[in-house]
């Protein structure tokens, strides 16, 4: 049965258990413990409880979120979100422009095999599909009489005459490769 002595002894026991000291050692405590089974049980169970509480303490430790509460961090995060958003918009715009451009490259103005867009001006160096090097350039002529624009694609002179060559090898250093009439 718990007595007034038990209260004092238990406070002393808790102190010892908390400081990981052996329960025995103090003559008063030792004397009481020998005669009080309740306090002996108390000492054993409290030692287990304190160990469990230490485990609970570790498990209930909150994970620190990365500077989540700092105003500076929030400002940076806010700007970062904006920057990522703007970059995404720009990337999408560029992508769409590229898609449109590649569609335009199936050129109507310069013929189906020519990689060039309607925006290309005369003199622009272009290439043919399936060829890696840009060795042709556009020449644009306009018939004032019919109002029909004619785009000529010239190739840099290689010394071999093309059958479509108007001026013949050596003329101006170019071959006429293709003529396309554009209305």
Which of these ranges, 63-71, 115-123, 126-134, 136-144, lies near other proteins under the rule CB under 8 A? 63-71
Of 173, 119, 97, nearest to 151 by C-alpha is 119
Angle between helices 27-35 and 37-59 (to 10 degrees): 110
Whose Cβ is closer to other proteins: residue 49's or residue 148's? 49
**Euclidean distance between CA atoms 23 and 28, whole angstroms:** 11
By CB under 8 A, residue 61 contacts other proteins = yes
Among 42, 136, 137, 152, binds other proteins (CB under 8 A): 42
Give the nearest distance from C-beta 64 to other proteins in angstroms.
6
| Residues 157-176 as x/- pattern, contact with other proteins by CB under 8 A | --------------------
Site for other proteins in 64-123 (CB under 8 A): 64, 67, 69-71, 74
Among 33, 36, 39, 46, binds other proteins (CB under 8 A): 46
Sign of CA dihedral 99, 105, 107, 113: negative
Strand order of the sheet with strand 125-128? Answer: 114-115, 125-128, 136-142, 149-156, 174-182
- Cα torsion 95, 96, 98, 100 to 10°: value is 170
Which of these ranges, 42-50, 89-97, 141-149, 171-179, lies near other proteins under the rule CB under 8 A? 42-50
Q: In what helix (H) or strand (E) does residue 5 lie, and over which residues does it extend?
A: helix 4-18
Give the nearest distance from C-beta 43 to other proteins in angstroms.
11
Kindly list the residues in this chain that would bind other proteins in the complex (CB under 8 A). Answer: 7, 10-11, 14, 42, 45-46, 49-50, 52-57, 59-62, 64, 67, 69-71, 74
């Amino acid at each position: 049965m718990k007595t007034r002595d038990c209260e004092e002894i238990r406070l002393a026991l808790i102190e010892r258990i908390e400081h990981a000291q052996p329960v025995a050692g103090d003559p008063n405590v030792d004397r009481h413990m020998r005669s009080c089974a309740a306090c002996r049980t108390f000492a054993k169970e409290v030692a287990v409880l304190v160990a469990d509480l230490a485990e609970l303490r570790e498990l209930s430790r909150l994970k620190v979120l990365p500077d989540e509460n700092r105003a500076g961090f929030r400002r940076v995060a806010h700007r970062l979100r904006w920057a990522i958003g703007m970059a995404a918009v720009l990337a999408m715009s560029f992508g769409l422009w590229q898609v449109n451009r590649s569609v335009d490259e199936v050129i109507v103005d310069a013929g189906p095999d020519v990689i060039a867009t309607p925006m290309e001006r005369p003199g622009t160096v272009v290439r043919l599909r399936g060829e890696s090097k840009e060795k042709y350039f556009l020449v644009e002529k306009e018939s004032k009489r019919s109002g029909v624009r004619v785009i000529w694609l010239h190739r840099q002179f290689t010394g071999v005459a093309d059958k479509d060559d108007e001026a013949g090898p050596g003329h101006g250093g170019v071959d006429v490769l293709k003529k396309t009439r554009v209305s």
